[in-house]
Structure formats: C-alpha cells, structure tokens
Amino acid sequence: MEAPSSSSSSQCSYEDYKETADWLKAHTEQRPKVAIICGSGLGGLADLLSDKTVVPYKDIPRFPISTVPGHAGQLVFGKLQGRECVCMQGRFHFYEGYNIHTVTYPVRVFFLLGVKTLIVTNAAGGLNGSYDVGDIMLIKDHINMPGFAGQNPLCGHNDERFGVRFPCMSDAYDLELRALAKQTAKEQGCNSFLQEGVYCMLAGPTYETIAECRLLQTLGADAVGMSTVPEVVAARHCGLRVLGLSLITNKVVADYDSNEKANHEEVLRTTQRRTQDIQRLVSHLITKI
C-alpha cells in the first residue's frame, strides 16, 4: 500500500486520513476511545489486550512503515481491562526519513476512528541529575526543538475539521490524567520510581553531545528523546486528551571525563526490566479514564 510521501513539503489531505480510517473501520469491529503509542521496547503493552485484532502497518492504506529495532510495526485493537483500545506497536520518526506530516499521520486517523484520549510512551535519556535509570517520568510539559526550526505538524493549510489554526499548548498534558496516573502509581507500588518533568525532543538519530546535554539542562529539560512531541501537537490540535510517559533508560553524558556512551541496546535492556511496571500502571490507569 502506498504511504504518504517523505518529501518535506508533503501534506496529507482530510480524504487521505479518512480513507485509512474507513479501511480500519471495515476491518475491525472495535471502536476504541483510547489510543496508546508504544515507544522503543514498550510494545508489550499491546500483549495485554484481549479480543485482539492485529493489523500490520504494511496492510493499511497510506500508513507508513516503522523501521526501528524494538518497534513491531502493527496496530493492535482490543480490550484492556474491559476498555476498547488501539495500540501502535512502533511509531514513526524524523530520523527514518519521514516528514512531520507522516510522523503524525496515525494520530489524525485515531481521531477519525473516535479516539478521545492518547497515551504516548517513549524511552528517554535522563537529564535531571536526581533521576535514576528505570524511573518513569510523567510528562508535564515539552520543549519542541524541531518546532523551533519550523518542523511543526500544523504547518501548511489548516483543516478546521481537525482543529483551529492556532491551538494552545500550555495545557498539552492533561492535568486530570496526570493526577490519575499519580494515584494509580501509588496504588500499584510504582510511586518510588515515578517522576514528573519536562521532555525535550531532538530529531536524532545521534545521541546528544555533552554540550547539547548541558544546554538542555539549562533550558529546564528533565529528559530527552527523539519522538512524542509531534504526535502530542497533532493530538491536541484534534482536541484529544494526552498523557505522556517517559521511561528513563539511560543517564545522559554531561561530563567530559566520563567514559559512558549512550546506546540503543542499553535502552532496550532497561525497557525489558521495567516493562511489567509500565504495563501495570497503564492498564490500571485506563480503568479510571
């Protein structure tokens, strides 16, 4: 199936999104109200779903293909704790060569499917010195570095059927959902490793230099990664409520005397160690939404 072009000027039409949404409606009976985007190594969330319908990205009209290790590349529809959900096992990134509209393509499809709440998860490097590897950070705000350079999914023609021309982002991460997540973490024994902070997105695929890490710390970022923010911007434009979770998989290197080096294998190892905790947190949280 043809995916949207990777040309930086390419913008998808309402009809493109509708074609994909209509195809999915015809191929599954589920009508989810919650969508979960699973970050690197976190696709196990989808394994908890019952009454599953699995749809590979390659079969979905106009859907992109995920190319990153740790991303399965499929939509999983089903029930989590009795609530109908759809999970993205694998997201899309700038560094794969996709443009900003392609990266956020699934979010608008979810909106047309009737989704009301988006939960985004990612693996991130810890910038905050008080964070430990394996901590889960509730995202309370973000710094959109690609957006500073004009890479925003809302650039170009605005279709009012999705949202207003100039959407507010000061409330991007839902206050009530964050409160529910904190309550759930306490109930599930995850409170000791739950943090709350600011996520900064860089385009990748290189990990950050020491000077870049120090700059981001100065800017007030607590964690850094290569995803999530474009999807959140598109979701808020559509009026979806958003909850963001970052798994701190490594501490950034901010000392020139350090021999530590960030690597993707460490990221995946940490996610394996913390997978069950994130699954427990998200699955019990969903019952409260």
pLDDT digits (tens, 9 = 90+) for 47-98: 889 999 999 999 999 998 877 665 678 999 999 988 999 999 988 999 989 9
How far apart are alpha carbons 185 and 123 in whole angstroms? 18
Based on the residue annotation, tell me whether 95 is a catalytic residue of this protein. yes
Placement of tokens 């024994």 in the chain: 189
- Structure tokens belonging to residue 128: 């905050």
pLDDT of residue 273: 75
Using 70 as the pLDDT threshold, list the residues of the chain that sit under it: 1-9, 41, 68-71
242's enclosing H/E stretch is: strand 241-251
Q: Annotated catalytic, 93?
A: yes
Which of the 8 DSSP states describes residue 38? Answer: E
pLDDT of amino acid 261: 76
Residue type, 120: V
Return the structure tokens found at 118.
């988006």
> Catalytic site residue 123?
yes
Radius of gyration of the chain (CA): 18
Instruction: Please report, in angstroms and rounded to a whole number, the separation of the first and last CA atoms in the chain.
Output: 35
Side-chain-side CA neighbours of 225 within 13 Å: the count stands at 29
d(CA 112, CA 122): 24
Helix (H, G, I), strand (E, B) or coil at 120: strand
Of the residues 35, 137, 181, 226, only one is catalytic, namely 226
Catalytic residue list contains 264: yes
How confident is the model at residue 69, as a pLDDT?
66
Domains of the chain: residue spans and CATH? 28-286 (3.40.50.1580)
Question: Is 226 assigned a catalytic role?
Answer: yes
- Known active-site residue 40: yes
96 among known catalytic residues: yes
Report pTM. 0.91
Among candidate residues 35, 88, 96, 137, the one labeled active-site is 96
